[in-house]
Amino acid sequence: MDHYEMLCVLPGTLTEEEVKKTMEGVLGAITNFGGSVIQSQDIGKNRLAYPIKHIRYGYFQLIEFSVEPDKLADIKRKAYLAGTLLRLVIKIHDPKQKKFDVKSMLAPQPVGSVFYERPDKESEAVREHEVHHEVHHEIHKERIKEIPEVSLAEIDERLDEILQKDLDKV
């Protein structure tokens, strides 16, 4: 009997109970074909690198088992029939390879919540923003000053002139 590793990816849309039921079916497929499960590890729910069947999140399960090599195709077929699997990968177990660490699947977190910036760059950015704000404010004031004040009577007269010109054309 050879030693294998199987990585199962289940849809993230399943409930925890449905995941357990599907994994029981996969483990049952291994034992039904004369295999023995050495270890089963729940890696958890994580974002997929790309959508599979329009699903972006998945539950990852890692299983180590021993079985005869000619039974692998049958196990894979039965595992897919046992539940809703997105992907199933079986590879020969390499004892020299280090054990899988769940932390390696998690997204890296930034060290601290503050990002370092040089003080001189920061002060330049602040000064530039203040100057830009002052210039914009002065330009806005100049635009307001240029607009002459107009009374309602002047507006009515101008409107009557425009309408009269349109009536003369008809």
pLDDT in tens, 26-64: 999 999 999 999 999 998 898 998 998 999 999 999 999
Instruction: Please give the pLDDT value at position 84.
Output: 86
Query: Is the confidence at residue 9, as pLDDT, over 90?
Result: yes
Q: What is the mean pLDDT of residues 155-168?
A: 85
Query: Would the pTM of this model clear 0.85, i.e. be above it?
Result: no
Contacts 24+ apart (CB under 8 A), 16-19: 18/83, 18/84, 19/59, 19/61
What is the predicted pLDDT for the residue at 136? Answer: 57
In this model, does residue 102 exceed pLDDT 70? no
What would the pLDDT profile of 132-141 be if each residue is shown by its tens digit? Answer: 555 555 655 5
Task: Spell out the domains of the chain, with CATH numbers in brackets.
Answer: 2-96 (3.30.70.60), 119-169 (no CATH)
Least confident piece of the model among 11-25, 32-46, 90-104, 108-122: 108-122
Query: What's the token pair of residue 29?
Result: 């497929």
Given pLDDT bands bounded at 50, 70 and 90, which one contains residue 116? very low
Residue in 50, 62, 72, 68 with CA at minimum distance from that of residue 9? 62
Alpha carbons within 13 A on the beta-carbon side of 93 = 20
pLDDT at 10 over 50: yes
- Beta strands 55-67 and 2-11: pairing type? antiparallel
Higher pLDDT, 100 or 120: 100
pLDDT of residue 115: 47
